[in-house]
Structure 1
């Protein structure tokens, strides 16, 4: 019964986030500020605000006030254990996306700038969606069921046809997906983007346009992702072009299974990152010993190249094969 109640509580939380319609998006939050949730236990009466100063969404660089914001301020303890958080209502002054002042509600605040009364909603950090493929999705179009593929090479061949089919609506569908994740509180996204001989840089062009249309609501990173294999599809030059066009991370794919040469594949990926002062985010599906060798070698190359803190391994199924030691 306790587990069921917990599940209902989580559903209630997520449901409220959706109903708000993405308060973080509406208010143009990014970085440290994100989803607002209404506190069920206490209602704070909204103050009257000059409606002429109200606008739908602050823009980047704006200075504005958030009034009657609920902030967590401490903890409640029982027998030495934290059982709840305390909260308090404050007014916040925001300058260029940064909280510049936290004021008691009785303190004077600037009334010559735009003010937004959030009526006691809780201020939380915005969620970050750190692995998504905004450039290739069926979302926003007619329903299409999943089809079983035998292996990754089968997937690559099917995708060569699908990418061209999806290209005309790639920007529109990316924008619908951006709106969806924002509605659940995400204010930051890292999107992988196909870079391959089939579509060249066209998916990147579409994705950049989609993200630009939401630049005042969501921050982003873009991974130049050689889905068809960095070496297998001979995509090094395309990846280098993508980095010059605004990609922030170099991607990679199964260096042994797909590219057939772990050392050359990883060396090429790391070299592109070093040359462009960029990060890395590799898709590593390889399991067992093959995958672990890739993880260890990439760790060595990361240290050699001075890329500590800038390298991500996505999926990393091989980690399940590690011994407890």
Structure 2
């Protein structure tokens, strides 16, 4: 019994021009490698050489199912066993663990894993709580330090404000005092100037009266000249002349007292005139001072007259 499908394939192969040019031995070897029997090889060679037989052969031979030898069955068994083993392994690894209930060891293992996870979670929670407490304590301490620093800053700011206010008040007081001094100094200078002018006027009048008194005494060198001058000078006498006059009035010996008083008055008046003329400022009465100056010869004559009167009184 021949296989028509294999024969038809072999005929088509042998009718190929490239195969037809090959030798017969090579063609037979190739067909044997394709598992064709010797009968099938002969039929294929005959049909390839006679195309009419190739076309008419299907009408003479009915269709035959392909024959399977032991190699086909071996291949089928090998493939079937491999696929079955793969399905079994996949079912054991992935499907059965999902369907089958857990065993007691697995339950214990899962329980231990869950307990370990809970212990880790609780330890993490405790550590987190301790860290939170430490952070809270540090934050409270930092807050207290910040509050203390803010209080110190507020105290310093208040002290600075108080010092600034005191400084401003002192500045205002100093400004008021300076303004008062600015107003008071010109007034004081004017008052001092007016007082000085009044004293200078009084001093000038006193100088004029002293000069007139000295002129009167120098003009009368005898002992009676003092009394007439003192009484005839009229109203104003300086304090030095008044004290001399009181001493003359209180003396027991009029002639001796008058001579000594005239000598003392002449010397004191002359020295006082010279000192006051040297120290007094030059004002509008400078012409009168120059007119009342005593010449040197008149001073010598008056001193001689005083000495003679003193010797007469002593005798």
Q: TM-score range by the shorter chain?
A: under 0.3
Structure in which a larger fraction of residues adopt strand = 1
Structure in which a larger fraction of residues adopt helix = 2
TM-score normalized by structure 2?
Answer: 0.19
Which has the greater radius of gyration? Answer: 2
Greater relative contact order (Cα 8 A, min sep 6): structure 1 or 2? 1
TM-score normalized by structure 1?
Answer: 0.19
